[in-house]
């Protein structure tokens, strides 16, 4: 099978050729340490500032509010743990949701073991946070609200502006994990009252191992890595100059192509959703029908085991996911699918397909035709399906 149809862009994306090209000289030619005094190296400082500026502009932020990290997980850890520590004397209560990425959930659990209290908000059947629940969860000692911009599994986009307003009215810090949303939907940190925002290079056609945390000026946050004076003394370590150039170039590209790219992706994705729901019986779409990321489709097939579906798709050169990459391999159903109310057996039969701009309707035809065949094959071997058919008669 020579054909490869990559439909796992929520796990990671291809680094765009123009991004690789922009990065290369910073490995081979301009390899100096930006902290050195001679101009050969010091010019890299300027380059880093330029990238910060590109990113700040994309968010409506200020250049000095962008802090480079080693990716989305680090940004999430930093945002939660270091604000918890900095504001711990004001209160020890944090609000987040049940559908966050594990970088948030496990950081929250870490804090719980250290005397903080965390409220994990429920979501509705589409994966949307209920604003009344959020308001009800706020206490005098609440110091931080962290709600992801868009979910990595089901693609649901949250009412971030409304959440930001609620946080702002109560004088509570608001962090959002925008790793999936940034580059796919326009984001303005002021309009949404966002105080901190996490993003990652490799989710938007940039390199792996680089990300940033936006930190609004005035937010007290502890240093996450101690050492040198890099990143305004908040995150030590020699800068990943090629990575920084990579993420800056990727973000510039993502902003420039956003409108056209997401329009195309939405169209192809809707075609995928339509064909799957119409042609494969006992199937549901997970997530919100319209408030979802342009590239995300997530289905549950009754009487199917997600892993065997993935293996058979792989044999046809199709890359998909049964949940988030981090939990693949474990037998627990996805916490996100359980949070939207799916029973275990339905959650187990789930498939996430996330597109990129190169995927065409012809690719989707091949994928749906393959899916139909595989689903029918697996069901035909399922005793549960057999029982179900008998009862139907």
Ligand X SMILES: *Cc1c(COP(=O)(O)O)cnc(C)c1O
Which of residues 155, 164, 207, 211 is near ligand X by CB under 6 A?
211
Task: Pick the closer one to ligand X by CB: 34 or 72.
Answer: 72
205 binds ligand X (CB under 6 A): no
Which of residues 9, 51, 73, 83 is near ligand X by CB under 6 A?
73
What residues between 105 and 164 interact with ligand X by CB under 6 A?
148, 152
Does residue 326 have an active-site annotation? Answer: yes
200 binds ligand X (CB under 6 A): yes
Q: Among 326, 357, 382, 385, which one carries the catalytic annotation?
A: 326
Question: Cβ-count burial of 213 within 10 angstroms (0-12 exposed, 13-18 middle, 19+ buried)?
Answer: buried
Task: Pick the closer one to ligand X by CB: 179 or 276.
Answer: 179
Q: How far from 393 is each of 301, 303, 387, 388, CA to CA, in Å?
A: 21, 17, 10, 9
Q: What distance lies between CA 54 and its chain's CA centroid?
A: 20
Q: What residues does 292 pair with on adjacent strands?
A: 156
Minimum distance between the CB of residue 209 and ligand X, rounded to whole angstroms? 8
What is the chain's Cα-based Rg?
Answer: 22
Q: For residues 257 and 132, give the distance between their C-alpha atoms in angstroms, rounded to a whole number.
A: 36
Residue at token pair 């743990």: 81
323 binds ligand X (CB under 6 A): no
Q: Is 170 labeled as ligand-binding? A: no
272 binds ligand X (CB under 6 A): no
Q: In what order do the strands lie in the sheet with 283-285?
A: 283-285, 296-301, 350-354
- Measured at CB, which residue is nearest to ligand X? 72
Q: For residues 18 and 22, give the distance between their C-alpha atoms in angstroms, rounded to a whole number.
A: 6
Q: For residues 191 and 209, give the distance between their C-alpha atoms in angstroms, rounded to a whole number.
A: 29
Q: For residues 311 and 302, give the distance between their C-alpha atoms in angstroms, rounded to a whole number.
A: 17
Which of residues 81, 193, 203, 235 is near ligand X by CB under 6 A?
203
72 binds ligand X (CB under 6 A): yes
| Both tokens assigned to 39 | 């101009």
Task: Pick the closer one to ligand X by CB: 156 or 230.
Answer: 156
Minimum distance between the CB of residue 183 and ligand X, rounded to whole angstroms? 12
What residues between 175 and 194 interact with ligand X by CB under 6 A?
177, 179-180
Task: Pick the closer one to ligand X by CB: 72 or 375.
Answer: 72
Q: Is 35 labeled as ligand-binding? A: no
The residues, any chain, with a CB within 8 Å of residue 389's CB and separated by 6 or more, are none
CB atoms within 10 A of CB 46: 10
Which of residues 103, 144, 273, 374 is near ligand X by CB under 6 A?
103
| Both tokens assigned to 96 | 């987040």
Which of residues 6, 13, 71, 309 is near ligand X by CB under 6 A?
71
Task: Give the binding site for ligand X (CB under 6 A).
Answer: 71-73, 76, 101, 103, 148, 152, 177, 179-180, 200, 202-203, 211
Output the known binding site for [2Fe-2S] cluster. 326
Catalytic residue ranges: 326
């Amino acid at each position: 099978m020579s054909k490869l149809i990559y439909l796992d862009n929520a796990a990671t994306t291809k680094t765009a050729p123009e991004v690789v090209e922009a990065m290369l000289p910073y490995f081979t030619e301009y390899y100096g340490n930006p902290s050195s005094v001679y101009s050969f190296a010091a010019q890299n400082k300027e380059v880093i500032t330029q990238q910060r500026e590109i990113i700040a502009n994309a968010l409506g932020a200020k250049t000095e509010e962008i802090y480079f990290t080693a990716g989305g997980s680090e940004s999430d850890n930093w945002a939660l743990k270091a604000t918890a520590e900095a504001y711990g004397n004001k209160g020890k209560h944090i609000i987040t949701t049940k559908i966050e990425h594990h970088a948030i959930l496990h950081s929250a659990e870490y804090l719980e073991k250290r005397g903080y209290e965390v409220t994990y908000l429920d979501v509705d059947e589409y994966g949307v946070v209920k604003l009344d629940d959020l308001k009800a969860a706020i206490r005098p000692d609440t110091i931080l609200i962290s709600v992801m911009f868009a979910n990595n599994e089901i693609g649901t986009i949250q009412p971030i502006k409304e959440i930001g307003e609620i946080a702002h009215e109560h004088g509570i810090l608001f962090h959002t994990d925008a790793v999936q949303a940034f580059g796919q939907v326009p984001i303005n940190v002021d309009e949404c009252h966002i105080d901190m925002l996490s993003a990652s290079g490799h989710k938007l056609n940039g390199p792996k191992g680089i990300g940033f945390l936006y930190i609004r000026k005035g937010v007290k946050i502890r240093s996450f890595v101690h050492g040198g004076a890099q990143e305004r003394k908040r995150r030590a370590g020699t800068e990943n100059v090629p990575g920084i150039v990579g993420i800056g170039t990727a973000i510039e590209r993502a902003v420039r192509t956003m409108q056209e790219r997401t329009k195309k992706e939405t169209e192809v994705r809707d075609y995928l959703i339509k064909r799957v729901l119409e042609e494969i019986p006992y199937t549901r779409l997970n997530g919100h029908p319209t408030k979802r990321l342009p590239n995300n489709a997530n289905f549950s097939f009754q009487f199917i085991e997600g892993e065997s579906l993935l293996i058979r798709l792989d044999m046809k050169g199709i890359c998909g996911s049964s949940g988030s990459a981090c939990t693949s391999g474990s037998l627990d159903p996805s916490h996100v699918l359980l949070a939207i109310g799916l029973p275990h057996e339905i959650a187990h039969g789930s498939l996430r397909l996330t597109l990129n701009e190169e995927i065409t309707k012809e690719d989707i035809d091949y994928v749906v035709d393959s899916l139909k065949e595989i689903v029918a094959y697996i069901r035909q071997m399922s005793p549960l399906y057999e029982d179900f058919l008998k009862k139907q008669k």
